[in-house]
Chain A
Amino acid sequence: MGQPSVDTIWDWLDQVPDPEIPVISLVDLGIIRDVKWEGDTLKVAVTPTYSGCPATSVINFDIETALRDRGIEKLTLTQQLSPPWTTDWLSDKGKAALEKFGIAPPSPKGEPDRCPNCGGHDLERTSQFGSTPCKALWRCRDCLEPFDYFKCI
């Protein structure tokens, strides 16, 4: 078998779900920073979302498993800190999937645009921190449902 193209690898990685928010892929999340071949070794650069995110090691494991399952034998994963991850790197496909799942996607104004459940605009923040480092807790005063907001950083 010949060497799969870099584009093919990106497609494969786009099928690996985020372990904590499985409706979006690692590519949607914007944490895969580079994919390249160096000779017969595939090099994948990954950036963490938050420094202490416990999903980081699971993510590396999932990437490795997905690529090895497809026959990649020589693989190096590197951690790339700079430039730091930003929610600007979330794909439009990913943002749409988040909202459909009930998580308000990040918005440049620093707060959710609308309630992901009813579309209401009368919102209040319950806490800057949520069930994962990347989320905050909000509540909709229209439908009274609490929801997660993907924080903008």
Chain B
Amino acid sequence: MADNALFQFLLRMGDNSLILGHRVSEWCGHSPVLEEDIALANTALDLIGQTQFWLGLAGEVEGKGRSADDLAFLRDAWDYRNVLLCELPNGDFGRTLMRQFLYDAWASVMLGRLMTSSNERVAAIAAKASKEVAYHVERSGDTVVGLGDGTEESHARMQAALDYLWPYVGEMFDGDEVDAAMVKAGIAPDPASLREEYDALVSKVLGQATLTIPTDTFHHKGGRTGYMHTEHLGHLLCSMQWLQRAYPGATW
């Protein structure tokens, strides 16, 4: 059971970075300016690199000989454990950067805690990834402020993005028996315990961006437990997994 809980926890970490990394990579060649194109591609690259560590370890813990690639390309939607926020479509540039900021803020707090994990492998991956996420959150936060406190048009788009995405934030702080097992083993923190630090960071940046956080506390869920993903995940997997599905085992 302990190993299965650890496997599930690692899938959640790896699937978050994989699915968001894939989403961000969809911008490659389509960004408004060259610098942003490079920045988004680099962010996607970091996230997919982190995925290799998380899913690589997940495969080892599972003990069935599955590699990070097997887990990424040969699972179907119901076996994915990412939060719904990561799989939502990019929308416009503003919404993409708002989603990135809401995720980066969570990742920066979570990875900071995981650096003191009782599991040395988890702590090592977190230490590596947190250095990259520090860059991501600085940039996505700056962009959210720049666009939020920008023109009338950019402000309206950023407020609309926040209103659309906010109901997906709460899932990152949900807990279940997998999290309880991780807390007991000293491997990972209780997700709810990250909320205070997260809210402090997010309210500060969104305040600077002159944006208003919605007051409704309802949140969507079902991604991290695998209970029910949005319809968007299947479409994403169609594109991401196409090659391995059409030509199983293909390498180059």
Contacts and interface: CB of A to CB of B under 8 A. Distances in A.
Contacts of A131: 38
A87 to B, nearest CB: 10
B131 A53 contact: no
Interface stretch (A4-12, A28-36, A76-84): A76-84
A52 B50 contact: yes
A128 interface: yes
A65 interface: no
A52 B124 contact: no
A51 B42 CA distance: 11
Given A128-B39, A130-B38, A133-B42, A82 B127 contact: yes
A128 to B, nearest CB: 5
B124 A51 contact: no
Given A127-B39, A137-B35, A51 B49 contact: yes
Contact of A53 (B38, B49, B125): B49
Interface residues of A, number: 21
Interface stretch (B91-99, B100-108, B132-140, B157-165): B132-140
Contacts of A54: 45
Contacts of A53: 45, 49
B49 A50 contact: yes
B142 to A, nearest CB: 9
Interface of A: 48, 50-54, 81-85, 126-131, 133, 137, 151, 153
